[in-house]
């Protein structure tokens, strides 16, 4: 089975475009099994891999996947953060609200302006950011 082949491929965790593609293929195939390796993919540097991982975690919907989302919400890449928020939206408010509230910055003069969390929703279609 092709899905099993992909699972075997991603068990060796390292940064590569091939791993990103394998994770995205698992997402499209509807994989809904959590592997411990997903925690390792959440902390690598490749944003494409983490974006694919966020999509895949949306298929899984359990405590393990939510813990991966919590890690991905701290990512410096706003597309990774945005996809994590997008995938979390199907969870109940009782689950999502505490996660998102814990990621908001406290209000102060030093924290004025954009932060990474949710910057991706402020992008125009052509990729320019609104100020």
Query: What is the share, in percent, of the chain residues with pLDDT greater than 70?
Result: 79
Per residue in 42-58, pLDDT tens? 999 999 999 999 999 99
Per residue in 6-28, pLDDT tens? 999 999 999 899 999 999 999 99
pTM (global) more than 0.85? no
Instruction: Tell me how far apart the 2 most distant CA atoms of the chain are, in Å.
Output: 55
105: CB partners within 8 A, 6+ apart: 111, 115, 117
Give me the pLDDT at residue 36, please: 96
Give me the pLDDT at residue 45, please: 95
pLDDT bin (cut points 50, 70, 90) of residue 67 is very high
Structure tokens at 108: 């102060």
Give me the pLDDT at residue 123, please: 47
Per residue in 72-108, pLDDT tens? 999 999 999 999 999 998 889 999 999 988 887 665 5
Give me the pLDDT at residue 18, please: 95
């Amino acid at each position: 089975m092709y899905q099993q082949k992909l699972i075997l491929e991603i068990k060796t965790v390292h940064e590569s475009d091939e791993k990103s593609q394998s994770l995205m293929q698992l997402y499209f195939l509807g994989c809904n099994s959590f592997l411990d390796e997903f925690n390792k993919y959440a902390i690598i540097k490749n944003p494409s891999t983490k974006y694919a991982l966020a999509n895949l975690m949306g298929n899984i919907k359990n405590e393990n996947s939510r813990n991966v989302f919590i890690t991905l919400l701290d990512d410096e890449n706003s597309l990774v953060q945005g996809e994590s928020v997008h995938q979390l939206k199907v969870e109940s408010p009782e689950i999502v609200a505490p996660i998102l509230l814990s990621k908001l910055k406290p209000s102060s003069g030093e924290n004025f302006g954009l932060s990474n969390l949710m910057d991706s929703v402020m992008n125009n279609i052509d990729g320019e950011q609104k100020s």
